Structure 1
Amino acid sequence: MLYSIILSSAALATTVSAACDRAMLEEAAAAYVKAQAGGDPSLLPLADDFKYIENDAEVDIKDGVLSKAVTIDLDRSIYDTTECIAFTELSAATNSEPYVIDTRLVFTDDKITSIESIVAHEGDWAFNAAGHLRWATQEKWDPIPEAQRDTREVIQAAGDAYLDSWGDGSVSVPYGTPCARLEGGIYTGQSNANGNTCKMPEFPKPFSAGNRRYVIDEELGAVDIFNDFPFIDKTRPDGTPSTNFLRVEGGKIRYIHETTVCGTKNCGR
């Protein structure tokens, strides 16, 4: 009996320690925005053994974009209290070197153990920071009323279906009406008489967007999926660093933002 109680208590402690406080994630995301604006990573609660990963490569943080002061025109964050991860999308259109930066802050015991960023700039796929800023500022990502929120499973399934459909056109994707897609700086608009403008074509097989890493926020109906996008860049046959940031409302996809980094200018296309 005592052994069972000990096991149950240990399991509960593990569960509690795996989750984290939303306010802590919000504060850390705000600190990240300040750190990037000032080029000062010391503003972040970094673990002693943290990793800094930029475009899927581990680098010294002193050599990364986070150590450069960047003029930020728009920031949007989501918070995964189950997995203890904050995600932030930054639009830096008026910076001397324009960027779109998507970053995951991964926590253990209230300390950042890894910073993973997709850093896009001139020459990356469909890059246009001014276009990204223009359209992203017009979107509404307000909190969803509690009674109308989707579960983590529903939100992730919508994102996975979207990515899966690239390699298999028979996959049913829960596109909303309207649905708007922002790829780099290109905006598909809403929906029109010709069909849903978020729908993607089926790419040549074999095709699979692998190495998926998720940040899910039920309150904001959002999921971000870091992934390796194959096919688009011939110099990176295993896939190029990419992220898809989606808003899901009532089980349906409302917005999609895609940021993809190229090994060669415009991925050689």
Structure 2
Amino acid sequence: MARSLLWTGVAFASQAAAACTRASLQEVTAAYLQAQASGKPSLLPLGANVTYLENDATVDIAKGLLTQAIAIDFNRSLYDTEACAAFTELTAATNKHPYVIDTKFLLADGKITHVESVIADDGDWLFNAKNHLTYTSKESWDPIPSAKRDTRAVIKAAGDAYLDSWGDGKVPVPYGTPCARLEGGIYTGDKTPTTNTCKMPEFPQPFKIVKRSYVVDEEGGAVAIFNEFPFIDKTKPNGTASVNFVRVEGGKIRYIHETTVCATKNCGR
């Protein structure tokens, strides 16, 4: 019996691992893009009890944004085989209703168990989808050659250091030179493209981003950090839905994208 149970466990582990290959995560991402472009969430391999969130609120997936056909102008994705997760940032600048959408998926046994989207549109922090499209499409996020890839820990630590530095300017952040930040539709690297323009000032204290979740891709050299951004929205001082999408090359931050939603126009600022 013990041997039978052991075999069952090994078989289950093998199936789970097989369900989280890079190829399988890429397939799910492709299905998501098709689903959003057509407004048909049924194209996704959804689990029986899938959780679906939009801007931190639980929504019926059959009534959410996935039911709207959106013209996608550009997209970029991460594939996290260790966490069995995928992430996609899409820009819909020419859509009748422009959006920038950051979405992560969690999978188990080949089925999506969790979908979480941060959906930015007019009135959200520094939102400008046309600018976002212009700048993100010019950036190079090519796969990192295997001999030059940073470890998962290095990539995650770089992203965390950036967020930690907002509350403590003494935190060392491994900024690269150059480094450019795309915050909503505002880009820091267009006028000074060869310097570090990513550094952020400290925010009024106390300031600490406690709630964080990650999608890390060593081959893609990047991490997407879903977080609750305090301070920025005057009507939600404890935090509003935000994503920081960070590219790391040789242990140094090269690009940062920030998408932050607001309860009031431009977060009341």
Give TM class, smaller chain: over 0.9
Aligned to 1:212: 212
Aligned to 1:126: 126
State the shift of 1:15 in Å.
8.4
Aligned to 2:90: 90
Note closer, same or farther for the CA distance 1:146–1:265 as it changes in structure 2 (3 Å cut).
same
Note closer, same or farther for the CA distance 1:206–1:145 as it changes in structure 2 (3 Å cut).
same
- Could you tell me the TM-score, scaled by structure 2's length? 0.93
Note closer, same or farther for the CA distance 1:166–1:191 as it changes in structure 2 (3 Å cut).
farther
State the shift of 1:237 in Å.
2.1
**1:144-195 Cα distance to aligned partner (Å, 9 max, x none):** 1101000000000000000000000000000001001000000000695996
Note closer, same or farther for the CA distance 1:263–1:15 as it changes in structure 2 (3 Å cut).
farther
Structure 1 runs, 4 residues or longer, greater than 6 Å off: 6-9
Distance of 1:255 and 1:29 partners within structure 2: 22
SS at match of 2:211: strand
8 Å Cα contact 2:243/2:258 also seen in 1: yes
Aligned to 1:169: 169
Distance of 1:225 and 1:12 partners within structure 2: 32
The amino acid of 1:240's aligned partner reads: T
The amino acid of 1:160's aligned partner reads: D
Query: What is the RMSD of the two structures over their aligned residues, measured on CA atoms?
Result: 2.3
Note closer, same or farther for the CA distance 1:15–1:97 as it changes in structure 2 (3 Å cut).
same
8 Å Cα contact 1:149/1:221 also seen in 2: yes
Q: Does 1:268 align with 2:262?
A: no
Q: What aligned pairs does 1:232-243 form with structure 2 within 5 A after superposition?
A: 232-243=232-243
The amino acid of 1:17's aligned partner reads: A
State the shift of 1:209 in Å.
1.5
Aligned to 1:57: 57
Note closer, same or farther for the CA distance 1:17–1:197 as it changes in structure 2 (3 Å cut).
same
Aligned to 1:198: 198
Distance of 1:85 and 1:194 partners within structure 2: 33
Aligned to 1:17: 16
The amino acid of 2:47's aligned partner reads: A
The amino acid of 1:182's aligned partner reads: L
Gaps of 5+ in 2: none
Aligned to 2:247: 247
Q: Percent identity?
A: 64
The amino acid of 2:35's aligned partner reads: A
Aligned to 2:178: 178
The amino acid of 1:68's aligned partner reads: Q
Distance of 1:145 and 1:194 partners within structure 2: 23
8 Å Cα contact 1:207/1:231 also seen in 2: yes
Gaps of 5+ in 1: none
SS at match of 1:196: coil
- Could you tell me the TM-score, scaled by structure 1's length? 0.93
Aligned to 1:225: 225
8 Å Cα contact 1:177/1:191 also seen in 2: no
The amino acid of 1:222's aligned partner reads: A
State the shift of 1:14 in Å.
4.9
Aligned to 1:158: 158
8 Å Cα contact 1:18/1:83 also seen in 2: no
Q: What aligned pairs does 1:26-37 form with structure 2 within 5 A after superposition?
A: 26-37=26-37
Aligned length: 268
Distance of 1:210 and 1:12 partners within structure 2: 37
The amino acid of 1:239's aligned partner reads: G
SS at match of 2:244: strand
**1:13-72 Cα distance to aligned partner (Å, 9 max, x none):** 658736711100001101100100001000000001101100001011122111100010
8 Å Cα contact 1:164/1:208 also seen in 2: yes
Distance of 2:101 and 2:255 partners within structure 1: 18
Note closer, same or farther for the CA distance 1:97–1:208 as it changes in structure 2 (3 Å cut).
same
8 Å Cα contact 1:190/1:197 also seen in 2: no
Distance of 1:61 and 1:30 partners within structure 2: 18
Aligned to 1:40: 40
